[in-house]
């Protein structure tokens, strides 16, 4: 995208008069022809439909598990949260790769939102996991549960994402460095899980390790919950993206109009 400041015929031969600048030129890093919030309505509607459906299934359809009782139902919240969080982190890494290749800061924004949202979902995962552990095994934290442990490590790593960003002032460099981090951390997630899983003995009896052996009603409920959680993640990300872009557009417009 080359931006001529003035039509070729107007450019004077005499270097004494500098060419006119165009005040409304958008920064090269951001394309302004993206339609914002394009899929937002159908996404929101789908989420609003899926969530109560999932909840209804959890409370009324899925059978109460023999060993653990009612508390086991937190599994339908905890595991989808976990899966969506980890996917979110990996997606953040993939978006960062696109950013580095295209140098279009839109992708860095998407990467940031994905990771940011995953952090929030991740905290929820840890909390629900801890509640579950307390209910099932009597402790607020167990080291012998590899998924929980890997999760903690991953969260500790991503907790440095925002301090890293805010420690760099130049926005372009900030975006670049954040993308490098997102890629390294995204690759780290699966490797970390592998390593931790190797090193711990399972305390995990039932559902998490053996989700393939779930009876049909539970499996179905789990699937719906997973879909609902993914939709929630996607919708919240879209809202955050739209809010950020709108704010940036407003700032750019107000600057060209002369407000501070």
Partner 1 sequence: MRRTVGALLRKELLVELRTLESVPGMSLFAVTTFVVFHFALNQNTVSGDEAAGILWVTLLFAAMLGVNRLFVADQDQGGFDAFLLAPVDRTAMLLAKAIALLAYLAVLELIAVPAFGLLLLAPPLSQTMPDLLVVLVLADIGIAAIGTLVAALAVQTRARDLLGPLLALPLLVPVVIGAARASSPLLVLTHSSGPQGRWLATLALYDLVFGLIAYAVFDFLLED
Partner 2 sequence: MIELEGLVRRYGEREALSDVSLSLQAGQTLVVFGPNGAGKTTLLRVLATLLRPHDGEVTVLDRRLPDEAWAVRGRVGLLGHESLLYRELTARENLRFHARLHDLDLQRVDELLAAVALTDRADEPLKSLSRGMVQRAAVARATLHDPELLLLDEPFSNLDPAAVELVAPLIGAESKRTRVISSHDPSGGLAQADLVLGLRDGRVALLRAATDVGPEEIVELYR
The CB-of-5 to partner 2 minimum distance in angstroms stands at 4
The CB-of-114 to partner 2 minimum distance in angstroms stands at 24
The CB-of-234 to partner 1 minimum distance in angstroms stands at 27
- The interface with partner 2 within residues 53-92 (CB under 8 A) comprises none
Give the binding range for partner 2 (CB under 8 A) out of 22-30, 79-87, 91-99, 201-209: 22-30
Contact call for residue 139 and partner 2 (CB under 8 A): no
- The interface with partner 1 within residues 124-183 (CB under 8 A) comprises 153-154, 156-157, 160, 163-164, 167-169, 173, 176-177, 179-181, 183
What is the DSSP code (8-state) at residue 160?
T
The CB-of-177 to partner 1 minimum distance in angstroms stands at 6
Contact call for residue 33 and partner 2 (CB under 8 A): no
Contact call for residue 233 and partner 1 (CB under 8 A): no
Q: Which residues pair with 65 in a beta bridge?
A: 69
Q: Which does 258 bind (CB under 5 to 8 A by kind): partner 1, partner 2, none?
A: none
C-alpha R_g of the chain: 24
Q: Which does 69 bind (CB under 5 to 8 A by kind): partner 1, partner 2, none?
A: none
Task: Report the candidate in 150, 118, 121, 147 with the shortest Cα–Cα distance to residue 132.
Answer: 147
Q: CA–CA separation, 25 vs 252, rounded Å? A: 10
Q: CA–CA separation, 168 vs 174, rounded Å? A: 5
Task: Report the candidate in 81, 86, 84, 106 with the shortest Cα–Cα distance to residue 95.
Answer: 106
The answer to whether 229 touches 80, Cβ cutoff 8 Å, is yes
Contact call for residue 194 and partner 1 (CB under 8 A): yes
How many other β-carbons are positioned within 10 Å of the β-carbon of residue 231? Answer: 21
């Amino acid at each position: 995208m080359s931006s001529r400041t003035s039509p070729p015929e107007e450019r004077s031969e005499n270097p004494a008069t500098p060419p006119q600048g165009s005040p409304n030129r958008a920064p090269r890093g951001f394309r302004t022809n993206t339609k914002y919030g394009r899929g937002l309505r159908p996404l929101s509607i789908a989420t609003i439909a899926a969530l109560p459906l999932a909840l209804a299934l959890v409370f009324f359809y899925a059978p109460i598990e023999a060993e653990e009782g009612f508390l086991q139902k937190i599994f339908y919240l905890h595991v989808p949260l976990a899966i969506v969080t980890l996917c979110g982190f990996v997606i953040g890494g993939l978006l960062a790769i696109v950013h580095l290749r295209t140098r279009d800061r839109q992708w860095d924004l998407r990467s940031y939102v994905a990771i940011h949202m995953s952090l929030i979902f991740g905290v929820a995962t840890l909390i629900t996991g801890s509640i579950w552990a307390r209910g099932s095994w009597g402790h607020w934290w167990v080291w012998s549960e590899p998924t929980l442990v890997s999760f903690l490590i991953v969260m500790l790593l991503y907790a440095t994402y925002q301090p890293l960003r805010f420690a760099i002032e130049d926005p372009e460099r900030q975006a670049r460095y954040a993308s490098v981090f997102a890629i390294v951390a995204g690759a780290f997630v699966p490797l970390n899980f592998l390593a931790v899983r190797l090193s711990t003995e399972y305390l995990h009896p039932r559902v998490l390790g053996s989700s393939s052996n779930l009876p049909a009603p539970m499996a179905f409920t789990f699937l719906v919950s997973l879909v609902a959680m993914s939709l929630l993640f996607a919708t919240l990300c879209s809202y955050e993206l739209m809010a950020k872009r709108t704010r940036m557009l407003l700032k750019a417009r107000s600057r060209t109009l002369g407000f501070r």
